[in-house]
Chain A
Amino acid sequence: MGKKLRGAEIFVRCLQDEGVEFIFGYPGGAVLHIYDELYKIDNPRHILVRHEQGATHAADGYARATGKPGVVLVTSGPGATNTITGIATAYMDSIPMVVFTGQVPRPLIGNDAFQEVDNVGITRPCVKHNFMVTDVRDLATTIKKAFYIATSGRPGPVVVDLPKDITADSCEYAYPESVEIRSYKPVTKGHPGQIRKAVNLLLKARRPMIYSGGGVVLDNAAEELTEFTRLLGYPITNTLMGLGAYPATDPQFVGMLGMHGTYEANMAMHQCDVLLAIGARFDDRVTGDLEKFCPHAKIIHVDIDPASIAKNVPVDIPIVGSVRNVLRDMLALLKESKEKPDKQALKAWWKQIDQWRAVNCLAYEHSDEVIKPQYVIEKLCELTGGDAYVTSDVGQHQMWAAQYYKFNKPRRWINSGGLGTMGFGMPAALGVKLAYPEETVCCISGEASLVMCIQELSTALQYDLPIKIILLNNRYMGMVRQWQEFFYDRRYAHSYMDALPDFVRLTEAYGHVGMRVEKPGEVESALKEALEMKDRLVLIDFITDQTENVYPMIAAGKGHNEIILPTDRELA
């Protein structure tokens, strides 16, 4: 008989054996046995957040930057319910995460006990899978399964609910090397026949287009995607989640597509005759009106999730498999193929694309009087060499960051694309900074989003996480205001931010450095100064143009060819 360990010890040992570096957590009654074990160890390192939502976003940011699963530990009841937004955020963007929630002891379950909530029930619709451990002998295997499910196939968050008495019960400990789940067998290799058909179709294209998404980033397939795209010489667009998977400064990159994508990307989507969609899911913000989506194209769709294929758009050649494996197989076929892309057709296609490009859709009016938000991001990109880790919240600033920061590497751009969670950016940046203490980590935010998780400035101080917060403060919920301007006859219902805090003093109150910049001429020097303060968290409160809008824009329910440019608005 081996030595028996208590559930709480087993929990900690499992995380150690799983190689977990950080636990983002907040203690409470139901997880106190576990915290008593955490008291005795340095590894994994526990990061105490100030609100459980912050824990999930920080773990999520860590996961997006590193590719490793983020780990969260919270107590029962409100501790668990506060994680819901963060879990749903990770779920929508397929981020590997394991969330451990405390639960009341088994004999009390169902009795409306203090801080009891049905965690498994409440998280069910927004997790990849969830478990409640009902026997300490199942604890280690369940944790192994949770990590396996979270990180394999299409990744996603997994919740493990831990009744308090389980963490007090004892049994022998052994961490399984691997687990076998008979009902869960993700496909990894694509079908060779389908891959061959796809390559043949791509080689016959006259107006080809590659549209890649977050799946390429998640599967670490940026290198393969880049090699494949360059070998073909075809234009490529990335989704909001896919930015950085192909270098933004490469001439074959036509920019982001979709609602706030570039003119050239959207027009090329509309006109292409063969579309290769890879690791993307045809989200409504990408497709616009499905009736008008890629009307001339034969579509190849590569995705690890069969349910993503033909969900919104009928597909001609579906390929289920890991995008990296499929790209490798396609590359091999391409290299051995005697057939080459039609040079003449491709030349004509690029000529057309260059004409769209010449519209220069991201041009904006410069000002000496008032700070243009786009200008701040362009300067930040310039000063960081386009190589910083950039997180964002949700709204106009997010779109400007996606448009004007040129991401040349994957995992540098970290934002809540699917759920659109305001409050995500700053805690996510803390998770990134923990993973990469030597790297520059910037959070581009707006004054409405930032305050949603502002309390995490304390966490940043406690763990010495000198991120840079680029606050584009326009005193409006900018994207709401923009929609009200366009579609609600300028009735700005509750989209203004009255009674804002003094962000400089607020930042100082949390023990960090705050700066305010009101003149365009001071933007560059302020950014430089902040970036040079390597060991301090700096928030720069940029007082920006209140009425600036995000262009181009495809209104909800319109086609790619109905894109609005700033000049169209002025004429209208």
Chain B
Amino acid sequence: MRHVIALLLENEAGALSRVAGLFSARGYNIESLTVAPTEDPSASRMTIVTHGSDAVIEQITKQLNKLVDVIKLVDLSESSHIERELMLVKVRARDAAAREEVKRLSDIFRGRVLDVTPACYTIEMTGTGDKLDAFLEALPARSIMEVVRSGCAGISRGEKRLKI
């Protein structure tokens, strides 16, 4: 099953490699991993998307908790949560028809055109991973020049929070 694990860890050199190293050393899957500092500069917030049986996910959360740099952790998939991912995609758009079609699709998916040249559009889009996948599939075949995705960032719904 797919799980989204959010964690707070010390914003220290090597903390990311401890997490990444744990996943490779123990043979766990990482679908995506994002990390950035929080409003408290001493801590970073990480979102990991992984797959595994219940037993494997239990081990993943226990092993992550065991890392000295990990302050707190929550498996967001255990309750209602929000996921968002940012994507930048560069799309070929040479003639008027192509430009019109790409702009129309981008609007439908609530994307924004960030950059325009005579040959291409660069579109910004946020959403769940599924929505971004759907947009890429909707684009005309072979029009996609380049895709960059941030990986999933997750947060729980309601009052619950992951705080130090």
Which A residues have a C-beta under 8 Å from some C-beta of B? 120-121, 124-125, 128-130, 132, 134, 149, 181-184, 305-307, 310-311, 314
B13 to chain A, nearest CB (A): 7
Partner of A183, one of B25, B55, B58, B70: B70
Residues of A within 8 A of B10 (CB): 183
B63 touches which of A124, A128, A307 (Cβ 8 Å): A307
Distance of A178 from chain B, by nearest CB (Å):
16
Bound-state Cα–Cα, A311 to B10, Å: 26
Contacts of A149 in B (CB 8 A): 68
Are the CB atoms of A307 and B70 closer together than 8 Å? no
Chosen A-B contacts, 14 in total, with CB atoms closer than 8 Å, are A121-B14, A124-B14, A129-B69, A130-B14, A132-B13, A132-B14, A149-B68, A182-B164, A183-B10, A306-B62, A306-B65, A306-B66, A307-B62, A314-B55
Residues of B within 8 A of A (CB): 9-10, 13-14, 17-18, 21, 25, 55, 58-59, 62-63, 65-66, 68-71, 164
For the complex of A and B, list the 6 residue pairs with the smallest distance between their C-beta atoms, beginning with the closest: A307-B62, A183-B71, A129-B68, A184-B68, A306-B62, A125-B25
Evaluate contact between B68 and A121: CB separation under 8 angstroms: no
In the assembled complex, which residues on chain A have CB atoms less than 8 Å from the CB atom of B164? 182
The residues of B that contact A184 with a CB separation of less than 8 Å are: 68
Expressed in whole angstroms, the minimum distance between the Cβ of A381 and any Cβ of chain B is 38
Known: A182-B71, A182-B164, A183-B69. A310 touches B58 (CB 8 A): yes
User: A183 to chain B: which residues have CB within 8 Å?
Assistant: 9-10, 68-71
Chain A nearest CB, measured from B12 CB (Å): 9
Establish whether residues A311 and B59, one from each chain, have CB atoms under 8 Å apart when the complex forms.
yes
Whether A125 contacts B55 by the Cβ 8 Å rule is no
Tell me, in angstroms, the Cα distance from A307 to B58 when the chains sit together: 9
Q: Which residues of B contact A305 (CB under 8 A)?
A: 66
Bound-state CA distance A124–B65 (Å) is 16
Which chain A residues lie closer than 8 Å to B21 at the CB level? 124-125
How many A-B residue pairs lie within 8 Å, measured between CB atoms?
Answer: 40
CB–CB B17/A121 < 8 A:
yes
> Contacts of B70 on A, CB cut-off 8 Å?
183
Cβ of A181 and Cβ of B66 under 8 Å apart? no
Residues of B contacting A306 in the complex (Cβ-Cβ under 8 angstroms): 62, 65-66
> CA separation between A310 and B9, bound complex, in Å?
25
Report the Cα distance A553→B14, complex, angstroms: 43
Chain B nearest CB, measured from A346 CB (Å): 34
Residues of A within 8 A of B59 (CB): 307, 311
**When A182-B164, A307-B59, A307-B63 are in contact, do A124 and B17 touch as well, CB less than 8 Å?**
yes
CA distance A128 to B65 in the complex (A): 12
Shortest Cβ distance from A184 into B: residue: B68
CB distance from A293 to the nearest CB of B (A): 15
In the bound complex, what is the Cα–Cα distance between A181 and B9 (angstroms)?
A: 12
B58 touches A128 (CB 8 A): no
B55-A307 in contact (CB<8A): no
Q: List chain B residues, Cβ under 8 A from A120.
A: 14
Nearest A residue to B12, CB-CB: A131
A128 near B25 with CB under 8 A, answer: no
Residues of A within 8 A of B55 (CB): 310, 314
Query: Which one of A121, A128, A132, A182 has the highest number of Cβ atoms from chain B below 10 Å of its Cβ?
Result: A182
A309 to B, closest residue via Cβ: B62
Q: Tell me, in angstroms, the Cα distance from A134 to B13 when the chains sit together.
A: 11
Q: How long is the Cα–Cα vector from A184 to B10 in the complex, in angstroms?
A: 11
Chain B's closest residue to A149 (CB) is: B68
Instruction: List residues of chain B with CB within 8 A of the CB of A129.
Output: 68-69
| Separation of A134 and B14 alpha carbons in the complex (Å) | 13
A308 smallest CB distance to B (angstroms): 9
Please report the C-alpha to C-alpha distance between residue A181 and residue B71 in the assembled complex, in whole angstroms: 9
Q: How far is the CA of A128 from the CA of B13 in the complex (A)?
A: 16
- Of all chain B residues, the one with the shortest Cβ separation from A132 is B13
CA separation between A50 and B69, bound complex, in Å?
Answer: 35
Task: Give every chain A residue within 8 A of B69 (Cβ-Cβ).
Answer: 129, 183
A184 to B67, CA, bound (A): 8
Please indicate which of the listed interface residues B18, B66, B164 has the most CB atoms of chain A within 10 Å of its own CB: B66
Which residues of the other chain, B, contact A314 by a CB distance below 8 angstroms? 55
* Complex interface: chain A residues within 8 A of B62 (CB): 306-307
Q: Given A182-B164, A183-B10, are A128 and B71 also a contact pair (CB < 8 Å)?
A: no
State in angstroms the CA–CA spacing of A134 and B55 once bound together: 39
Cα A120 to Cα B14 in complex, Å, equals 8
In Å, the complex CA distance between A223 and B150 comes to 55
B25 partner residues in chain A, CB cutoff 8 A: 125
Nearest CB on B from A280, distance (A): 17
Give the Cβ gap from B52 to chain A, nearest Cβ, in Å. Answer: 14
Chain A residue at smallest Cβ distance from B18: A124
A189 CB to closest chain B CB, in angstroms?
A: 18
Residues in chain B near residue A125, CB distance under 8 A = 21, 25
Min CB distance B132 to A, Å, is: 33
Q: Kindly list chain B residues whose C-beta atoms are within 8 Å of the C-beta of A181.
A: 68
Q: How far is the CB of A272 from chain B (nearest CB, A)?
A: 23
Q: Smallest CB-CB separation from A305: which chain B residue? A: B66
Closest to B71 in A: A183
Give the residues in chain B near A182, CB-CB below 8 Å: 71, 164
Question: Which residues of chain B are near A132, meaning CB under 8 Å?
Answer: 13-14
